[in-house]
Each structure stands twice: as C-alpha cells, then as structure tokens.
Chains A and B, each alone.
Chain A
Amino acid sequence: MSGARHLYVHLPFCAHRCGYCDFVTLVDRVDQHDAYATALVAELALERDVLAQQLETVFVGGGTPTFTEPHALARVLESLPPANEVTVEANPETVTPELAALLRSHGVNRVSLGAQTFRAHLLAALERRADADTIRRAVGVLRTAGFDNVSLDLIYGIPGQSVADLDADLDDALALTPEHISAYELEAKPGTRFTYSHGEELQRQADAMETYFEHVVDRLTGAGYRWYETANFCRRSGDRDLRSRHNLGYWHGRDYLGIGIGAVSTLGERRWRNAPRLASYIAALAAGEAPPREHEPLSHDVKRRERVMLGLRLDEPLELSGVRAALDVAALARMRTLGLAELVHDAGAGDAVRLTPRGRLLGGGVTAELLT
C-alpha cells in the first residue's frame, strides 16, 4: 500500500449556525481557533504514515474554514502535504482580497463558495449572511486573485422558493461562469429549528422538489455543463477535467484520511469517525494521543455495496468486476427493461453498468433495487 492520496481537513468554526445546517459546526469560539489548529497539525503528524508521499487532493471543509482566524488558518495550510488539487470552502462574506491572497500563497487552487441562493428572501429563510452582491463580489475577488477553479453551491427547495426563483438563481449562477456547480436539495433534518419553523412549507417544497431536480439538471446541462454526479456539474472546457477530484475519490471508493472533529477516515477495511467534541479533541492531541474515535469495521461485502451505491451516482459506467456479488441480476434486468439502467460493453475495460438519466433521477430507488 502506498497510502491514502486524499486528505480531508475539518475546520468547524462559523460566525453563525444556519438553521438548516447539520454539519459539525461551532459558533464563534475565536479564542480556540489557535489551539484547534495546533491539534489539527498534531493529528496530521500522528497519521502521516497512512498518507502517500504525494497527495492527489486536499479538501478543507467546515464549518466555515475561511471564518477561522487568518493566523490559525495559515498554520493549518502550511502544514498540509503537497497535493494536485487543494480546495477550501468559503462563505462569500468572508472572501476579501487579503483572504484570497492568503489562500493563493498557501497553494490553494480551488475554492468552493457557499452561495446557496441569490434571492434575498431565500437567503433570509436560510439565515445566510451574504446577499447577491456579496456573492458576485466574492467571485470577482477570487478571479482577480488568480483562481481559475471556482465552485458554487446552490440549494433548492427552500421555503418560499418558486420555479421562477430557481430559474433566476440558475441564471445568476451561470452568469458568473463558475467551473463547477453543486446543486443540493434542502435537507431539513427532523428536530432542527428549521424544520420546526417551516414544517408545512417544507412539505410543499418536498412535492415541488420532484420537478426542481429535473429542472436543475435540464438547465445546467443545457448551458453546457456536465452532470457528472447526482448533485454535481462541471464546465466542459477543452482538455481540463473540472470535476472535483477530491469528491471523485469518495465516489470511486478510494481511501481517505479525515482530520479534525467529526471527520471520517476510510482506510481499507477500517473506518473511523473522530468524536465531534472540541475539548476532548484538543486535550487528546495535546497529550500526544489520537482523539476519541468511533470505529466501524468494513467487510468486503459492505465495501462492495458502498462501491455500487457511490459508483452509480456518476455519469461514467461502474465496472462490474469486483462488485458483481453485490448486484441482483434479476433486478438489473428489470431496471434495464424500465429504461433506468444500461449495460456498457467495452472490450478493453470489461462490462460495466450505468444508470440512464432517468435512472439517475431515481438513483436511490434504483440502487436499492439493484443491491442484493
């Protein structure tokens, strides 16, 4: 084993917790940013052996990584091993020329910007702090600083969102010509403040989202974007592959190391998740020990099933060798009859399976059918 080639770094701090968010986030805590950075660097050193010498990708996610104190953020970025793709997540209101310069000078070459929506009333519903101009200004700042790989996150199914709102969001996003767009449906987790205050409207949106997803796919592919993963689109641009190489690592079932609170690592048949508690994380690493973790062994069978679940999210075919045992042949025949899945014969690569565009819209149900 030459080691994992993908690294995820979690920076949990946020200026404010948005009502719909269910990530591991911590509001404010500016006084702890430095101690957390120290702990992160320590965990990375502790696990350095599981990583390859040369990494393919690093992804710094959050929280709002760019809300982290610049000094602490710089220390984290400095400690990272070299990689071909280094992505940092940012909220538009945090993107200043200074921040852009800091990221550039530390080898970051891709920024994923949490725009979510350009409509003022929808931003308010999501409790986001940026407005449409802030988003546009942030993209401008990044372009000026030399970033040629910018991704925008969009959310649909927001309480109060109409089809016209969605169309306007897509227009505004496309006008910024981002290299990459992620479009998610709003997932309102039961029990969150958000679900509580928007209950009925969310039910209405759930019905509307059936058609919204299709609409998003139609609009973005119509504008020349490649729908390469269920929720992800990239611009077709000559010989540049603008897909998120880091996330492709997950979808291809590759090993990855995740550091920071709540971060998950998958290495062969081991998977663990760091406990999502800041104090114990900092304390353990200060003592030179691994942070508290929850371990989940992965059997061959489970690995195969995950491989199918993840692989069928992509537009490229999933090779059958290695996953055959997880597939129900009769179900595959049924899904082919229904025009939801297709077999791809390739003399060189061997047989593979792929979902049709309609199959991808129903990917969850189709995958549940296909798995043994």
Chain B
Amino acid sequence: MPQQRIRNFSIIAHIDHGKSTLADRILELTHAVSKREMREQVLDSMDLERERGITIKAQAVRVEWKGHQLNLIDTPGHVDFTYEVSRSLQACEGALLVVDAAQGTQAQTLANAYLAIENDLEIVPLVNKIDLPQADPDAASREIADLIGDTPDHVLRISAKTGIGVEDVLDAVVERIPPPNGDPDAPARALIFDSSYDEYRGVVAFVRVVDGSFSTREPLRAMALGTRFEAQELGFFAPTRTDSRTLTAGEVGYVITGLKDVSKLRVGDTLTSERRPASEPVPGYKDVKPMVFAGLFPTDSDDYPELRDALEKLKLNDAALFYEPETSQALGFGFRCGFLGLLHMEIVRERLEREFDLDLLVTAPNVAYRVKPPNQEAWREVHTPSDLPDEIEEVEEPYIKASIIVPKEFVGAVMELNNDRRGRFDHLEYLSEERVHLTYELPLAEIVLDYYDQLKSRTRGYASFDYDLVGFRPGKLVRVDVLVGGEPVDALSLIVHRDFAYERGRALVERLREEIPRQMFDVPIQAAIGSRVIARETVKARRKDVLSKCYGGDISRKRKLLEKQKAGKKRMKQVGMVEVPQEAFLAVLNLNGDRK
C-alpha cells in the first residue's frame, strides 16, 4: 500500500472516557468484526484489564475505510506505562483525543495531550457521550480546544456507545491526519512499540515500519540491545492475525521472532535488517527502570517454587517487571520485585493471586534510592530499606511532577495534602471558572502508600491525578530500624525523611505493640536510627497461661487444646526469642492511614 493511503493513529483519553468503546465501534463500522462476533472491547484481551477498564498491552489493528488502510494503535491507559504510551504514539501520525462530555478535561487527558504534542501528532479532538443527560458538549469542546490550541467548532461530537458521529471520526482520520512519510528505499527501520510472548512462537514484536521494508526469513537485529534473530513470520491483525510476508514503510504489524526471552527485545528499540543495516536507530529509546519495590512472600513457605514459576511466566509478557530472590529473617524466602509504579504492582499482585492461585504477603512498597557511601565515587541503587548503609555521604530519591485537576473548592485541601507530603508547589491554572489545574513536585516515596486514597477522600472523589517521573533529587533521608526483643527486624525497616522519622517510628512501635501478642517475658519494641533509639514500647509479659482444670474426663480435650496452641506458635515467625504474627509485618502498610 502506498504511504499516501495509510493512516496510523491512536486513541487517547482519561480512564472511562470511552476509548475502548470507540475502538469497538470503529472495528464494527469497518466490518473488521461483525456485530455478532463482537466481544465487547476486543482490544482488551485479559480479564483483569476488562475488569479495571484499563488496557495494559497495546495492540495494533488494521482496518479499511474508503480505500485507505487505517492502523489503530491502542495505548496503555495509565500513568505507570507512560513510556509505552509515548512509544505507541511515536508509531503514529495522529491521535484521537477523547473527552467525556460530562466530565471535561481530566489529568490523563492533559498528560496524553502533551505526549501527543511532544510527538508532533495531529490531534483530532472529540467529545464523547453526548447522549448522556448531564453532558455539556459546549463546555467540554471549549476546554479541549483551549488545551490544544484549536477552535471549538473543530471538535467532533459523538456517542461511541450509540454510534452517533463515528463515521465522521473515520473521515477526519483520513482527512486531517497526515500519511507517513518514510523513505521506502532507505535501509529498513522499524520502531518496536510493544511486545508480547506466545508460548509456542516466542516473543512477538509490534512494529511500525519507518523506512524500507521487511520480509519473512530475513535476518534482523534490534539496534539498542544488539539482539539478532530471523523474522519467522510478518503480518498484521485485522483483528485476527494475518500473515502478509512483508511489511513496508509506513505500515504497522507484528514480527514473530522465535526469541525465548522477552527482555532481549525492548519497547522503543529499532529493528533493522542485517543485510543492509540502517546507520541510526529511531530516536527515543530508553531503558525503563522500575521505581517502586516491594517484597513478595508466599504466606505458606511451601509455595515458594510456585511463586518463582509464576513470576517467570509473568515476566515473559512484562519486560518491565523486575524480580530477584530475597530472604527475610522474618518472612522467609520470597522475591524483591520492582514495578514501574503502583498500578503495575497492583496488577502483578492480582495476576499472581488470581491466575496462579497464590496467597501472598506483600510488604510495604518503597521506592528506589540512589546512595553514595563516604569516600566512594560510585553511586549505588538501594531497593530495600534495610540495605541502606549506616554511613552515607549523599542519598537521592526519585521525584515526580504531579498534575492534579480539581473543582476550585478543593484547592486548599489538595495543597494541604501536598504540603504534608513534602510537595513543592509548581503551578496553578484555571481550566475553566470551576476547575483548577495544579502541579506539584513530590518525592515518589510520598505517594506510594496511600496518596491516591487521601487525594480522593479529601476531594470527595473529584480530583484526577497523573504524574511523571522527573528524576532523582537529594533528600535528608534516614533509615529507621525496628528492634523486637533487641533483635533488628529487616522487614520492618523504613527509609523516611529526617523530619518525619520520630513521628513514623513512634507510630510504628505503637502499632507493633498492638500486633505482637504477649509472651512469657517482656518484649521491648524499639525504633532506632543507627544506635539512637527514637521510640520504645513494651509488650508486657503474660502472667497466666494455663488451663486450671484438668482431670480424667478431659485429658484428650486438653491435649488437643495444647496441640492447637502449639500449632499457633508454629505459624508465628520467630524473631530471636519472640514470636511475631505475620500480620505484624504489614503494620508499616497501615501507618500512613494514621497520619493527619
């Protein structure tokens, strides 16, 4: 197909503004899927995505419209996958920006619109859900036009649900979005914007051919990682897999690589042909690093091999997931896992529990820290609080730029929350008379526990939130250790800002005093920075633990009670002489809830 007749585009929207419904309607209208066959939202394949209304894995679908080849590239809908979204957008020349006619512009609308502008995409703005009684298409059109510097009459008004205006959308794709303009005769280059793993065929790469062309059996190379393989099959999805043997400049499709390791082919990398390699890759490749870490431990230590197998399988489809074995004196054998963000963590954990039927204990998440020990040049990364050395010259933590949109009456509440979380005010802007856009810089560590919940509850659910990592910044951070019965408990260590150390240490030991049952001796619980104790509580020794009556008639029953008591002890984790229930290790998780 000549490039003039190709249009590559994405749909971008805030969550629940109707992206998937619009995609379904487009497929239906172009007869890619008959109505009868149509499973709702065919682009979202996994159950979990359907349930959460989030698309995790991008896919590309080719449809025909009035003699043109349209490639619809679906993008992940969440902040944790910003990099993947940006790569998907890089594969397009245009984007449909969808805004809910009732809700107007939201935080992800802004984030996605900015990403699209950064990638020089032609934006086709549209207001969706105009059939809703509470819809205000005029206001929404004004907001969206202001946002992208367009005029309100240029904004399409549709209802993806009923189909109103969807044909106009397809016409606008053809008319407004420019065709690709790669060089069909140049050395072949293709941008990998997504990948997945097939049990039988190995890694499948989703690509946008920029220059030249690719064909089956051709030896290929991923330019950034240097991975070499042969294209076993080339084709596109319409929406089922169609083997096309070649992919040419401007086209979007898949490459079956036969590679058995998903980490060998990373999103953002460039494929080229070994026969006539390109000299420069497509710009923009980044090695995405996990920023949020948590320990995953099987509740029953016998499940450790199952957990390892499950993580291996998940990793095949999720190059961003990081894991390494970890042992905790308190929780036994498990894994330290790294995630792009909180949602990513939540998804991995749910998949492990749901698809692999594992019972997990997840420790409080923490962020990655960069540490420079004294008299050393090299920085090193710390993923576990207990690994933070006692002696440090400098320590840095990741910061984000938070973008929050709220009705104006909640501005005060949001500012208060952000100030409590070490936030630095950046910018305030009225989007309309009613709604305000605030930006703040915050340490990522301050949002990993309960920031979303707090934001929602303080704004009665009206706030929308998005963030972008802005890099590492130095912080006055200290490691707070917890000692139970004089023994340090690795799983309970935390890294906090010096100004909050006392307060957090105090709250933690108080919570632990409630969680740790009384023992046969006094158990001191201490929070300490280095050797300096900053908080202390004592679980007082029991003074009586015996059944008073035991005669011939109830020896069996008393024996069984004793055996039950014994079994109860076995379920506890032994810290020195102290028996600690597993729940106590989750105490850190609930601490933030106590914060004002």
Contact = CB atoms under 8 A, between A and B. Distances in A.
A164 B548 CA distance: 21
B112 to A, nearest CB: 56
B340 to A, nearest CB: 46
Interface stretch (B220-228, B249-257, B466-474, B553-561): B553-561
Given A8-B552, A250-B552, A305 B521 contact: no
Contacts of B550: 230, 250-251, 309-310, 313
A361 B545 contact: yes
Contact of B542 (A249, A310, A365): A365
A230 B544 contact: no
A52 to B, nearest CB: 17
Contact of A214 (B543, B553, B558): B543
A185 interface: yes
Interface in B2-57: none
Given A214-B543, A361-B544, A362-B544, A184 B558 contact: no
Given A184-B549, A340-B520, A371 B562 contact: yes
Given A361-B546, A364-B545, A364-B562, A338 B520 contact: yes
Given A250-B555, A305-B559, A310-B555, A369 B544 contact: no
Contacts of B520: 338, 340, 362, 365-366
A356 B569 CA distance: 22
B544 A213 contact: yes
A306 B558 CA distance: 9
Interface in B515-556: 520-521, 542-556
Main secondary structure, interface of B, reads loop
A365 B521 contact: no
Contacts of B542: 210, 362, 365
A187 interface: yes
Contacts of B565: 364-365, 368
A230 B558 contact: no
B392 interface: no
A365 B545 contact: yes
Contacts of B547: 187, 230, 364
A65 to B, nearest CB: 14
Contacts of B556: 264, 271, 296
A209 B544 contact: yes
B460 interface: no
B276 interface: no
B314 interface: no
A368 B569 contact: yes
A258 B543 contact: no
A247 interface: yes
A284 to B, nearest CB: 20
Interface string A38-66: 00000000000000000000000000000
Contacts of A214: 543-544
Contacts, number: 101
A264 B551 CA distance: 10
B3 to A, nearest CB: 77
Nearest to B569: A368
Contact of A264 (B544, B546, B549, B553): B553
B577 interface: yes
A311 to B, nearest CB: 11
Max chain B Cβ within 10 angstroms of own Cβ: one of A211, A313, A340: A313
Interface residues on B, range: 20 to 34
A223 B232 CA distance: 94
Interface string B551-581: 1111110110010011001000000010000
Contact of A360 (B546, B549, B554, B562): B546
Nearest to A230: B546
A333 B542 CA distance: 20
A363 B546 contact: yes
A371 B552 contact: no
B552 A334 contact: no
A372 B544 CA distance: 22
A176 interface: no
B546 A306 contact: no
Contacts of A27: none
A315 to B, nearest CB: 14
A230 B554 CA distance: 15
A231 interface: yes
Contacts of A371: 562, 566
A86 to B, nearest CB: 16
B548 to A, nearest CB: 4
Interface string A267-282: 0000101000000000
Contacts of B566: 368, 371
B108 to A, nearest CB: 51
A266 B551 CA distance: 12
Nearest to B554: A264
A306 B555 CA distance: 8
Interface string A300-333: 0010011001100100000000000000000000
B546 A187 contact: no
Contacts of A362: 520, 542-546
A360 B543 CA distance: 10
Contacts of B545: 361-366
A262 interface: yes
B559 A302 contact: yes
B579 to A, nearest CB: 10
B552 A211 contact: no
A263 B555 CA distance: 12
A96 B355 CA distance: 74
Max chain A Cβ within 10 angstroms of own Cβ: one of B549, B555, B565: B555
Contact of A338 (B521, B546, B549, B555): B521
Max chain B Cβ within 10 angstroms of own Cβ: one of A263, A309, A365: A365
B562 A309 contact: yes
A54 to B, nearest CB: 20
Contacts of A249: 552
A367 interface: yes
Nearest to A298: B556
A36 interface: no
A194 interface: no
A233 interface: no
Nearest to B546: A363
A256 interface: yes
A187 B551 CA distance: 14
Given A364-B565, A371-B562, A263 B548 contact: no
A368 B562 contact: yes
A271 B555 CA distance: 10
A365 B556 CA distance: 17
A262 B546 contact: no
Contacts of B552: 6, 8, 249-250, 256, 258, 264, 266
15 contacts: A187-B547, A214-B544, A230-B547, A231-B549, A263-B553, A273-B553, A302-B559, A338-B521, A361-B544, A362-B545, A363-B546, A365-B520, A365-B545, A365-B565, A368-B566
CB-based closest 6 A-B pairs: A363-B546, A365-B545, A231-B548, A364-B546, A210-B543, A368-B566
Interface of A: 6, 8, 183-185, 187, 209-211, 213-214, 230-231, 247, 249-251, 256, 258, 262-264, 266, 271, 273, 296, 302, 305-306, 309-310, 313, 334, 338, 340, 360-369, 371
Given A250-B550, A368-B569, 20 more contacts: A187-B547, A187-B548, A230-B547, A247-B551, A250-B555, A262-B553, A264-B552, A266-B555, A305-B559, A310-B550, A334-B577, A338-B521, A361-B545, A363-B545, A364-B545, A364-B562, A365-B542, A365-B546, A365-B565, A368-B565
Interface of B: 520-521, 542-556, 558-559, 562, 565-566, 569, 577
